[in-house]
Structure 1
Amino acid sequence: MDFFIVPTATFRVLFVFIVLAHDRRRIVHFNVTEHLTAQWKAQQIVEAFPFDTAPSYLIRDGYGIYGERVTRRIESLGIDEVVMAPASPWQNAYVERVIGTLRRELFDHVIVLNERHLKRLMSSYLDYYHPWRTHQSLDSDAPDGRPVRAAEPCNVVEFPVVQGLHHVYLTKAA
């Protein structure tokens, strides 16, 4: 899990909280806020892992941004907390890579207007990211996985996604 910031058109700073499942690079939870309070951060842990879906361990930064309340909430869910050394992003490389991907593939191309707009953009991007975006570490598969089909004569149809920022290509019988 990690936080990153996104500036808005009005020069406000929005905080994005993200939780990543390492096995398939799936983003299991995200949320956005302008006011990063201890209560909000602790609540995100509960929302990320509903109904006994908590993982065995959770890797997080060693910065004080999380606070004691988040640590207590993580412990109450029976999760082992793995705290990285400060200023050591390589210790949580998967989530840092996803944040970089979000910046390059989404936030470098749009101007975020407000919190609601950012949530809508993130949701739209994740609707593309999970079933369609390939990862070399997953043998060019997507986080949700896709069936492999035999090559046969067909037409390729293009569908814009993420408000036209990306495209999905599907086959149609010839």
Structure 2
Amino acid sequence: MKTDNHPVFRGKLVKRVLHWSGVGLRHSRPARPWENGYIERLFGTFKHSLCDYLIADAAQLRGALPAFQFWYNVTRPHQHLGGQTPQQAWLGIDPWTTAPRASHKFSAWGGRLRGMVLRH
């Protein structure tokens, strides 16, 4: 994972959590925010979702991260993608012209992550 040089990303706790998760850490070069624009959006959304959500140990973290990844990529519409989820944009699915075959509600992290899963 590539982050900027903010002190929060150089802290022991962040390094420990990433190590538990098996995620490598690299930092962008100083004064070059364009090197990691996508990750900035991810971190902002992740930090907002973590508000008041306690992760007790590495096992809970390993369970929580896939739920966040699924919500972030499959259920969360993105305004800069015209209301598509990242998965729909990646697969070239226009949710406004292609009716889903099935749908169901998604909820995780005690209701902090919610949305609709549309199967096209």
When normalised by structure 1's length, the TM-score is 0.45
Which residue type is aligned with residue 38 of structure 2? Y
- 1:112: Cα distance to partner? 1.4
Shift of 1:149: 5.2
Q: 1:87 to 1:112 in 2, by over 3 A?
A: farther
Q: Which residue of 1 aligns with 2:74?
A: 131
Instruction: Determine whether 1:112 maps to 2:112.
Output: no
Seq. identity, %: 20
The residue aligned with 2:100 is none
Runs (5+) with no aligned partner, structure 1? 17-30, 35-39, 46-59, 63-83, 151-156
In the TM superposition, residue 158 of structure 1 has moved relative to its aligned partner by 7.0
- TM-score normalised to the size of structure 2? 0.61
Q: How many pairs does the alignment contain?
A: 104
Q: 1:132 to 1:168 in 2, by over 3 A?
A: same
Q: Does residue 148 of the first structure (1) align with residue 95 of the second (2)?
A: yes
d(CA) in 2 for partners of 1:121, 1:169 = 18
Greater strand fraction, Structure 1 or Structure 2: 1
**Which amino acid in structure 1 is aligned with residue 27 of structure 2?**
D
Query: What secondary structure sits across from 1:93 in the alignment?
Result: helix
Q: What is the CA distance between 1:134 and its match in structure 2?
A: 1.4
Contact 1:134-1:142 within 8 A present in 2 as well: yes
Taking the aligned partners of 2:78 and 2:66, their CA distance within structure 1 comes to 19
Partners of 2:117 and 2:74 lie apart in 1 by: 12
Runs of 5+ consecutive residues of structure 2 not aligned to the other structure: 98-102
State the 1:147 CA deviation.
Answer: 4.7
Asked if 1 retains the 8 angstrom alpha-carbon contact of 2:74 and 2:86, the reply is yes
Distance 1:122 1:61 in 2: 21
Q: CA deviation at 1:142?
A: 0.8
Secondary structure in structure 2 of the residue aligned to 1:161? strand
Alignment check: 8 A CA contact 2:76 2:115 kept: no
Equivalent in the alignment of 1:66: none
Cα-to-partner distance string for 1:60-119 (whole Å, 9 max, x where unaligned): 634xxxxxxxxxxxxxxxxxxxxx3x15435422211211110002x1130111222122
CA distance in 2, matches of 1:149, 1:87: 40
Return the index of the structure with the highest Cα Rg: 1
What RMSD over aligned residues (CA atoms) do the two structures have, in Å?
3.7
Corresponding residue of 2:27: 61
